Structure 1
């Protein structure tokens, strides 16, 4: 039944001058789940995200969100529906404080981001909610620190807080643990699990230990097409998936990055 799924794609296809980057992908993201999109480099994962957030238009196929066809909507319209993407490269303002970054995101949600003539005081009402969001990602002690001084992992946590400030119903995370040390990876892993408690998360992620420990469903893409889908235990034993990742059928997928 459609209502079980917050997001569905039907034969979603994107061609660039004869090159098929996404090839007839049927994606079904169950409401309230953590769904991971994995695959070797060049598998079409980021292109898929760009299609879902309307950064690019599909060549053919359909995108349904809460059962409604949103294929031809503008990016802003899709964002207003509650599909919010957190970027691969930390998208925060380095010279604003940690609190101010969250406040900017809250303003965007209110639609007052261009009211520069408003007094600073009118933004104070947002501080309480901003601090609440920082608390949820363990950044409250850093609220008044310039963002540039945060560690890489904490910047990514801040990015998750600013994404949450937009009140997403479906949160798209693009490589949330890329370039992180073990300690930061673990912090972000726990954070995603916490954030997903009352919303749906679709993530592109290379780190298999993260995927195996938090994803309910995994879709494996190869050359733009769906190679396999299911829980990690099932997908990781699929010979075609092991072959795609490792180039041989006798290697475990576990630990593949």
Structure 2
């Protein structure tokens, strides 16, 4: 029996029959998603497919109409957002945007403080904040922002803002990192950079990313789930889903294939 149990326990984040209706319109329809621990899992689909809704259900911004969400085998459907963050399920791109006028380093320090259970003690002495500097600098270096350490977040180019958002997310030491369209609006060079960064930060953790564009997740994901009109129409490796006739027609039918 041990064997079977092992197999069951590899899914770190799972949904069963996840459904969300907005005044009669079904945005997400009975979605079963299984994200295996230690993998990069991409949820992709054309505009209006329901990706953001699934993401918002997983991150507790929305409450499902029906269905369940499991984290490490525990039903967290009615658990609050703050509590799931403490368990290590962290949504990216929700922090750095809050402090546009703090420097790159200050943004990362605030996130580190938050991880250590602090409230935002901006009035604390420099000395207390300085203990976070080494770790902050390590993270800034890891995302390639060392030369921008003293720049304010608002001054950064778009792709570098994304790198900062990844650094502030990593500061929270997530077990599962949830990324909402991390490549949206990026040029080719930045896509390559952010992609490498996601791969790097995925070491030793699990990543679920929502992405519109299938080609950008090609060599980034272990598993890709394709959503269309609120339902998963295909799942597998990039090679598998990109050959799937339903996927091809979903993308063609939506009036745009690749960016």
TM-score tier by shorter-chain length is: over 0.9
Residue in structure 1 matched with residue 230 of structure 2 by the alignment? 224
Look up the SS of the partner of 1:214 in the other structure. coil
After TM superposition, give the deviation of residue 113 of structure 1 in Å.
Answer: 2.4
Asked if structure 2 preserves the Cα contact closer than 8 Å seen for 1:8 and 1:29, the reply is yes
Whether 2:258 is the aligned partner of 1:256: answer yes
Whether 2:217 is the aligned partner of 1:211: answer yes
Instruction: Give the distance between the partners of 2:98 and 2:210, measured in 1 at CA.
Output: 20
Residue in structure 1 matched with residue 181 of structure 2 by the alignment? 175
Q: Which of 195, 199, 223 is matched with 1:193 structurally? A: 199
After TM superposition, give the deviation of residue 197 of structure 1 in Å.
Answer: 1.4
Asked if structure 2 preserves the Cα contact closer than 8 Å seen for 1:92 and 1:101, the reply is no
Asked if structure 2 preserves the Cα contact closer than 8 Å seen for 1:104 and 1:113, the reply is no
Asked if structure 1 preserves the Cα contact closer than 8 Å seen for 2:68 and 2:75, the reply is yes
Q: Which of 36, 42, 48 is matched with 1:30 structurally? A: 36
* Matched pairs, number: 252
Look up the SS of the partner of 2:99 in the other structure. coil
Asked if structure 2 preserves the Cα contact closer than 8 Å seen for 1:83 and 1:168, the reply is yes
Q: Deviations over 1:146-182 (max 9, x none)?
A: 2222211111000000001111100011110111111
Q: How does 1:84-163 map to 2 (within 5 A)?
A: 84-87=90-93, 91-163=97-169
After TM superposition, give the deviation of residue 107 of structure 1 in Å.
Answer: 1.1
Residue in structure 2 matched with residue 50 of structure 1 by the alignment? 56
Q: Deviations over 1:171-202 (max 9, x none)?
A: 01111011111111110011111111111110
Change beyond 3 A, Cα 1:241–1:89: farther
Whether 2:236 is the aligned partner of 1:234: answer no
After TM superposition, give the deviation of residue 76 of structure 1 in Å.
Answer: 0.3
After TM superposition, give the deviation of residue 205 of structure 1 in Å.
Answer: 1.2
Q: Deviations over 1:63-102 (max 9, x none)?
A: 1111111010011001111111113896252211110000
Change beyond 3 A, Cα 1:88–1:19: farther
Q: Deviations over 1:224-245 (max 9, x none)?
A: 1111111110111111111111
Q: Deviations over 1:126-161 (max 9, x none)?
A: 111101111111112211122222211111000000
Asked if structure 2 preserves the Cα contact closer than 8 Å seen for 1:171 and 1:201, the reply is yes
> Structure 1: which 5+ residue stretches go unaligned?
none
TM-score, normalising length from structure 1? 0.93
